[in-house]
Amino acid sequence: MRRPTVRQVVGGLLVACVIGFLALPILVTVVFSFNASPRLSFPIEGLTLDWYDRGLRDPMFRDALRNSVVAAVVTALVAALIGVPASFALRGLAPRIRPLVAGGLLLPAIVPALLLGIALTVFLEEVGLGLSLETAIIGHVLIALPFVVLSMVARLDSFDFSIVEAARSLGAGPARGFADVVLPLIRPSIVGAMLLSMALSLDEFVVTFFTRGGDDTLPVLIWGLLRRGIDPTINALATLILAGTVTLALIANRLTKVRL
């Protein structure tokens, strides 16, 4: 084996430093969520699950968890119902028009979340919709939709549509061809895009903060608890969010890589 060059060693060390800088605060949060002592300092005095138990017993946490789960599920369903047909329509546009429409669909991913949250709040107030969990879900769908479109367009670009023509030549109509041929092949990508939408919804804070009304989600609840100080219960709640979003993102990444 060839010995690594100085450039490769330096580059590897820089990458390791960046990853360590990003991962260390997360690791510390997870470790302190299991610390038996309420003091957030080393050394660790013991391991316990009491902080998770205390968080799960808190009515505010249960309400926020329910709101987060409902928002994530509805966001995934609505984003898929809009994003999948939009991806097919986008693929069928003329090459000159396609980039313009794609840019419009991807705009919520480019606009800063703060600006999007303020604009959405003003719009909802102007049309007479009271702020609530439902309006927060609208914001979540706007954020998740570009990622659904990106995932599905990437899948459709590698899809062999000649098999659809073969199915039609055998007598299958458009609906039957889609249900029996296209849908089974793109289903993993659809499910992966939905799981990614759920992960984005669970982790969303800025837009939710402006549009939620009086309904808290887990990120908003944690922000409110932080204003009173840091205790291990907050670390436990943050760890639960981290576990949920990472799990959904990993499964989504695995599914969207499937190519048949």
Structure tokens at 46: 């013991």
Segment 229-250 shows an average pLDDT of 79
3 state DSSP class of 21:
helix
Instruction: Say whether pTM exceeds 0.85.
Output: no
Instruction: Decide if 81 is inside a domain.
Output: yes
Which contiguous run of DSSP H or E holds residue 90? helix 59-91
Asked if 208 and 217 touch (Cβ cutoff 8 Å), the reply is: yes
Instruction: Decide if 70 is inside a domain.
Output: yes
Asked if 216 and 63 touch (Cβ cutoff 8 Å), the reply is: yes
Q: How far apart are CA 144 and CA 231, in angstroms?
A: 32
3 state DSSP class of 2:
coil
Segment 160-182 shows an average pLDDT of 72
Percent of the chain with pLDDT over 90: 7
Note the pLDDT of residue 140: 92
**Based on the structure, what is the number of domains in the chain?**
1
Instruction: Decide if 46 is inside a domain.
Output: no
Residue type at 50? D
Note the pLDDT of residue 40: 66
Query: How does residue 19 score in pLDDT terms, banded at 50, 70 and 90?
Result: confident
Note the pLDDT of residue 250: 79
Instruction: Decide if 229 is inside a domain.
Output: yes
Nearest Cα to 40, choosing from 246, 179, 238? 238
Instruction: Decide if 53 is inside a domain.
Output: no
pLDDT tens digit sequence for 109-121: 888 888 888 888 8
Averaged pLDDT of the chain: 81
Structure tokens at 234: 């907050």
Query: How does residue 258 score in pLDDT terms, banded at 50, 70 and 90?
Result: very low
Query: How does residue 256 score in pLDDT terms, banded at 50, 70 and 90?
Result: low
Q: How far apart are CA 155 and CA 43, in angstroms?
A: 49
Q: Residue 214: give the domain boundaries.
A: 58-256
Report the CATH number at residue 143: 1.10.3720.10
Whether residue 259 is predicted with pLDDT greater than 60 in this model: the reply is no
Q: How far apart are CA 257 and CA 15, in angstroms?
A: 25
233-256 burial by CB neighbour count: b if 16+ within 10 A, else e?
Answer: bbbbbbbbbbebbeebbebbeebb
Residues, the chain? 260
Whether residue 234 is predicted with pLDDT greater than 70 in this model: the reply is yes
Which contiguous run of DSSP H or E holds residue 156? helix 133-157
Q: How far apart are CA 221 and CA 64, in angstroms?
A: 7
Note the pLDDT of residue 70: 92
